[in-house]
Amino acid sequence: MPIRAFLDPFAKHLLLTLMLLVSVTPALSLEAGAADDRPRIVAFGDSLTAGLGVATEDAYPARLQRRLDEQGLRYRVINAGVSGDTTAGGLRRVEWVLKSRPDIVILELGGNDGLRGLNLQETKANLERIIQRCQKASVTVVLAGMKLPPNYGTDYTKAFEAIYPALAKQYRVTLIPFFLDGVAGSASLNQADGIHPTSEGYRIIADKVLEQIKRLLHARK
């Protein structure tokens, strides 16, 4: 569960944030750099992946790319984040994502479903179908878990958080327990809306994502 400090900025800025998230624009065309023959990691998510509010080079996919380069891990990271995306939106564009022929997909979706109080059975079913389609295409999935602020009620927040480990276990995918671990609730690591990380917040996220996927990357060498 995110720390209590996450609640105040969330409550204060929720309406503003949802207004900002109405815009649905892909962060990067998957066709760019088609001649690049490195294995591809697609960061598939919402505004937390797109990098809403920070420069493109400060979003976590770009930071992850630099960290991979520094460590001599020859992969190309593609930012397929769409601000405002839900799991239903992700399901509609999964075939578009798979056109880039990724080796690994880091799936970060569901936060907007939870913030909007959507039906959790539908959220889980959408994530499940995305995972199934990726695995059918022989793509390795890394699932990023999400959490909600406590004012959504114990039953809803617990049921929401349980979706991710349940799917990770069922489909045997690598789980990032909480995508915003170490960042959520920190005023210095989040923008004014209290939800989207700052550049420094994304640095922390990229480092944690790398630690979670490094074993996968080394195994594929």
What would the pLDDT profile of 59-103 be if each residue is shown by its tens digit? 999 999 999 999 999 999 999 999 999 999 999 999 999 999 999
10 within some domain: yes
32 within some domain: no
165 within some domain: yes
133 within some domain: yes
Number of domains in the chain: 1
- Residue type at 133 in one-letter notation: R
Residue 14: per-residue pLDDT: 43
The residue to which tokens 């891990």 are assigned:
73
> What pTM did the predictor assign?
0.86
SS3 110: coil
Single out the residue of 195, 188, 189 nearest to residue 8, CA to CA: 195
DSSP helix, strand, coil percent of the chain (3-state; round to 5) = 50, 15, 35
CATH of the domain at 201: 3.40.50.1110
154 within some domain: yes
96 within some domain: yes
153 within some domain: yes
Task: Find how far residue 159's CA is from the centre of its chain.
Answer: 19
Q: Which residues are catalytic?
A: 47, 193, 196
Cα 202–Cα 85–Cα 111 angle in degrees, nearest 5: 60
The residue to which tokens 């578009």 are assigned:
96
Domain extent, residue 78, equals 4-27+38-219
Which pLDDT band holds residue 23 (cuts at 50, 70, 90)? very low
33 within some domain: no
